Amino acid sequence: MRGSWRKLLFAIVALAVLVALIYYSRGAIHKQFSWARLVQAVVRARPSYLLLSSAAMFVAYAIRSLRWKRFCRSLGPCAFLSIYSATLMGYSGILLLGRAGEPVRPLLIARKCRFPVSSMFGIWLLERLFDIGATAVLVGLSLLLPSRLLATVDGAVWEAKFRAVGGALMAVLVALIALVVYFRLHGAGALERRLARWRTAAGWRRRFAVQFGGFSEGLQSIRTFGDLAAASFYSAAHWFVVIVVYFWIAHGFGGRLAEIDFRGAMLVLIFTLVGSTVQLPGVGGGTQVLSFVAFTQVFGVEQEPAAAAAIVLWLITFGMSCVAGIPLLIREGWSMGDLRRLARAEAEAEKAGGHVSALADAPAEAVARGANGRGESEK
């Protein structure tokens, strides 16, 4: 019970820090900002839209888990619920630890499904590649779809910026696709042989060889055109659901925010994807700031409802995993200290040219559940 109160106190402090972060975000919020109007914007929000958005996020996590399950087909069977629960716990780890918690999800999936850890990190890198591709496609589509909100002087300026960024992203995407196709068909073996010496070296060469080896293993998940089509379908479905969530949250606050159309929701999502690269433990970070900038600078929303929407947007899209993820972590005996040690052990293992065991630094309860059949996931 004492631990639950500590988590509640931590959440309250995190929310206060988040509000302060947005308030002091490099002059984006001016002196005319009214905290009373911010509270009013939150109170007036329509709960039905926010509840729908919360439920839809669990659907998005489920689709992401289905994509991961598809990637694991060549490794053997694994129950969807095992991957889904590990996904929720993994994203909770990111929220609690920041970007340092990124390795938690692949390690949890490896333990639950008894798969090699290196393969899970390869799939994790492959997943990132599909997400980068989805971001590039979103930028391209956002420039093709009509939007009445960008038919202003400021909107035209932002649209020009989007076109420049979108062109660069599409060029990167085409280059990545060409590289992946060549690598998958011809270059994997040759590059692996050339990097063999790097695995015994020190510093960045060893880390690069390890990451490349993991990516090579993950890429083996795409064996047929059907695998590629399925992964692309799951990626499109996942991001479509997330855009719908952004659309619903904006409409839940009414006013100028309710005028944001589907294309506008896509643009806000692009801002938050860029901001998510700066993730602070418990409070997010760049996600809230850049979504606030998108609402105020691109769509002309008043500061108070924009700040309220940015906070709720982060709580639902990034924090909703904790609603189920933290109880699952507690049920399996994981604490924040365990997750922190697990992430630190993985970082040290990567520096040494490998990956940590799936059961390394796991609590006794988790080891007891995961050790049946195979105590060591890494081979």
User: Mean pLDDT over all residues of the chain?
Assistant: 74
Write out the two tokens for 9. 């106190």
Q: How many percent of the chain have pLDDT more than 70? A: 59
Task: Over range 345-354, report the average pLDDT.
Answer: 68
Residue 40 — pLDDT band, cuts 50, 70, 90?
low
Q: Quick one: pLDDT band at residue 341, thresholds 50, 70, 90?
A: confident
Query: Do the Cβ atoms of 99 and 343 come closer than 8 Å?
Result: no
pLDDT confidence of 84, banded at 50, 70, 90? Answer: very high
Separation between Cα atoms, residue 367 and residue 359, nearest integer Å: 6
Kindly state the average pLDDT of the residues 91-113: 85
Q: What angle do CA 5, 83, 65 make, to 5 degrees?
A: 105
pLDDT at 181 over 80: no
Residue 1, domain member (yes or no): no
Is 159 within a domain?
yes
Tell me if 108 is assigned to some domain: no
Does residue 92 lie in a domain region? no
Is the overall model pTM greater than 0.95, yes or no? no
Alpha-carbon span 148 to 300, nearest angstrom? 13
154 in a domain, yes or no?
Answer: yes
Q: How confident is the model at residue 63 (pLDDT cuts 50, 70, 90)?
A: very high
Amino acid (one-letter) located at 107: L
- Give the closest residue to 97 by CA, choosing from 355, 343, 314: 343
Q: Which domain holds residue 297?
A: 48-76+117-320
Q: What is the pLDDT, as a whole number, of residue 239?
A: 92
The owner of tokens 């990034």 is 318
192 assigned to some structural domain: yes
In a domain, 336, yes or no: no
| Distance from C-alpha of 60 to C-alpha of 64, rounded to nearest angstrom | 6
- 222 lies in a domain? yes
- The domain total for the chain is 1
Q: How confident is the model at residue 373 (pLDDT cuts 50, 70, 90)?
A: very low
Of the candidate ranges 78-87, 305-314, 323-332, 357-366, the one whose mean pLDDT is the lowest? 357-366
Answer whether residue 8 shows pLDDT above 60.
no
- Residue 79, pLDDT > 90, answer yes
How far, in whole angstroms, is CA 364 from its chain's centroid? 29
Residue with tokens 């643009």: 267
